[in-house]
Structure 1
């Protein structure tokens, strides 16, 4: 298989082809387990709802957050593969990013990371290699429960690490096998880039985003898109030549008009797919990506 200069960013919705535990079911289980059943989901952003559940629980009983995240990791570990995962693996794409914590995309459950940095909490370098592909778990993975990115505190810490890597330079020990110069300086220098973080792909590779709602609470990804667009249009950095695509069902376009406008302002091409059936919708996306490879 000849690999192309293309990467994917895939969210949790591709797992919803199979009937299984939904996020709402998981929330109910968490509330029951930690005796905070009376908390209302309402319209609260999920990272803040997670903080409310956690903070309410620890005020009632002493608990370790790792215990809560292990409970979540065990639940998502049971997600089963479906036909879409296999179709995605068949694409001639080497790098697959995902916000998912499970390993259904890879088709196997790896035991060890292949990252250049052994991160315990955040996920700037977190990767697993399987067959001829690299899977970047940008919001943590179920092998490492404390890496699972859920609460507002974790999102902000992740963003801090990302911005350091891109703008200031990573602050890891001298023994790590990564460049100490910031990503933006290395890009400006015009040298050939050695891929070391999934963030590199946002500046160097065409990216197709699907199965991801990309809500505004995803502050890490929205910051990255904004920073890239500012460097391209405001600072006139000509090294940014890649294209980013975001796929959305036609039925959600009207209610997602704000998001679509912001994506387009941030140099993301929005691809609208008119298909009601979820499985066929993703098959159309995969076929569309094939035509662009």
Structure 2
């Protein structure tokens, strides 16, 4: 099966979509605690929240952080869909993972949501929704949270760290809602770990682990990194994305041991004239067994800007070609 992981790059192709910097700047106290440059985005968020003179610096009961995330929600709720989302939805793939919190892929039309699992309040190991668009059903895993539940919006390092711990539990076979299973965890060898599922073809009992049927072959979005041909596009893969990088690293270890059979593809969407800024990351991805698919677009010197629509169209063409030839 194929799955697509898309990021905020698709939103940035729509009008009036704020960049990460714009988003943080608009919700911060610009004069009291201006955004610090040169630090990871996750820590930029922590700075907005924790700066001594910030409006959101009172962390005694957590209500201020909810208020901060409500401000984020207001900025993201108005993002509209665009033709590039339409192209993704027409590739014949019905399983989507996203780092986006918004609902732009189905144009904010909540009547298109026909089923969902919103049981988790803060983290998103089990979170999914099924949407119907043009009489086709798509399953969407918003693993960085959903603006429907602002507490789930994953922004700062604290939230990323907690999410990574739960991802590690799932991959190692320790993720369970059962109290008796948690008591046995110290002596467990992870009988339902990803590694054992790959080597022993164990059927994962989703009911015992508190999961619900999402209509795909994926029990959790995490499975896509190990059991699906995963296509990653519209995301810069900043090193602050510790959850994604940990999963790619874990997959690379299993690949080295001969366990992995799936493919992971990364489709960069920066102009090729800027490739020197990204080479270390791209080389690392390739060493981790990720296939990097390059496009041919570059900076338009005469016009003085990057034609991102051309880049995305070419990369979606490349993705379509690979999806159609993969077994």
TM range (shorter): 0.7 to 0.9
Query: What's the counterpart of residue 289 of structure 1?
Result: 319
User: Which of residues 21, 26, 45 in structure 2 aligns to 1:24?
Assistant: 21
Q: How does 1:54-133 map to 2 (within 5 A)?
A: 54-56=49-51, 57=54, 58-59=56-57, 64-110=64-110, 114-115=116-117, 118-131=119-132, 132-133=137-138
1:123 Cα shift? Answer: 1.1
- Residue correspondences, number: 280
Query: What's the counterpart of residue 143 of structure 1?
Result: 148
Q: How does 1:32-71 map to 2 (within 5 A)?
A: 32=29, 37-56=32-51, 57=54, 58-59=56-57, 64-71=64-71
Note if 1:134 corresponds to 2:139: yes
Say whether the 8 Å CA contact 1:170–1:181 is kept in structure 2. no
1:185 Cα shift? Answer: 2.5
1:129 Cα shift? Answer: 0.5
CA deviations 1:97-123 (Å, max 9, x no partner) are 1100111113344468623x7111111
1:151–1:122 CA distance, 2 compared to 1 (3 A): same
Note if 1:9 corresponds to 2:29: no
CA deviations 1:206-263 (Å, max 9, x no partner) are 1111110001111110000000110110x332xx111111111323321111101110
Question: Structure 2 CA distance, aligned partners of 1:77 and 1:181?
Answer: 38
1:60 Cα shift? Answer: 6.4
Return the TM-score normalized by structure 2.
0.79
Question: Structure 2 CA distance, aligned partners of 1:210 and 1:134?
Answer: 17
Question: Structure 2 CA distance, aligned partners of 1:180 and 1:113?
Answer: 30
Say whether the 8 Å CA contact 2:73–2:150 is kept in structure 1. yes
- Aligned-residue CA RMSD (Å): 2.3
Query: What's the counterpart of residue 250 of structure 2?
Result: 227
CA deviations 1:24-44 (Å, max 9, x no partner) are 222222113xx7643233111
Say whether the 8 Å CA contact 1:36–1:53 is kept in structure 2. no
Query: What's the counterpart of residue 176 of structure 2?
Result: 171
Question: Structure 1 CA distance, aligned partners of 2:245 and 2:294?
Answer: 20
2:94 is paired with a residue whose SS is strand
User: Which of residues 184, 202, 208 in structure 1 aligns to 2:231?
Assistant: 208
Q: How does 1:236-251 map to 2 (within 5 A)?
A: 236-237=258-259, 240-248=260-268, 249=270, 250-251=272-273
Structure number, greater radius of gyration? 2
Stretch of structure 1 that moved more, 189-198 or 254-263: 189-198
1:105 is paired with a residue whose SS is helix
Query: What's the counterpart of residue 288 of structure 2?
Result: 266
Question: Structure 1 CA distance, aligned partners of 2:290 and 2:13?
Answer: 26
2:293 is paired with a residue whose SS is strand
1:93 is paired with a residue whose SS is coil
Say whether the 8 Å CA contact 2:196–2:202 is kept in structure 1. no
Query: Structure 1, unaligned stretches of length 5 or more?
Result: none
Query: Structure 2, unaligned stretches of length 5 or more?
Result: 180-189, 205-216, 298-305
